[in-house]
């Protein structure tokens, strides 16, 4: 078992967003722009011509649509948890 730690290169805003993503219960106050900023810092974000965003982190790729409101929905938070955990950005092991 490996211990996941917060990457040194993330700023405080990115760390706060990462904490919100792994918060239980699922945070309903997670802004789309914060997610894009975090994902751009740890991986790559590419906006497609159809308005969808391809997020690649390690071997994982996820396609998300810009939400109608400013916050991402619960399913998108779960998808972000999966891709971040796969890349080693999960909660710290105790």
| Residue-wise pLDDT tens digits, 18-47 | 999 999 888 888 999 999 999 999 999 999
Q: Give the confidence band of 55 by pLDDT, cuts at 50, 70, 90.
A: very high
- What is residue 7's predicted lDDT score, i.e. its pLDDT? 55
Beta-ladder partners of 65: 52
The answer for 26, left when phi > 0, alpha when psi is -120 to 50, beta otherwise, is beta
- What is residue 3's predicted lDDT score, i.e. its pLDDT? 37
What single-letter DSSP state applies at residue 71?
B
46-75: burial string, b at 16+ Cβ within 10 Å, e else = eeeeeeebebebeeeebebeeeeeebbeee
Q: Whole-angstrom Cα distance, residue 34 to residue 21?
A: 11
Q: What is the mean pLDDT of residues 48-75?
A: 90
Share of the chain above pLDDT 70, in %: 88
Q: Whole-angstrom Cα distance, residue 28 to residue 20?
A: 9
């Amino acid at each position: 078992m490996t211990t996941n730690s917060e990457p040194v290169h993330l700023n405080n805003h990115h760390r706060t967003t990462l904490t919100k993503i792994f918060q239980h219960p699922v945070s309903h106050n997670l802004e789309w722009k914060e997610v894009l900023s975090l994902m751009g810092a740890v991986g790559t974000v590419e906006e497609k011509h159809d308005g969808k965003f391809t997020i690649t982190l390690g071997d994982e790729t996820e396609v998300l649509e810009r939400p109608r409101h400013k916050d991402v929905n619960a399913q998108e938070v779960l998808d972000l948890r999966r891709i971040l955990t796969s890349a080693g950005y999960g909660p710290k092991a105790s």
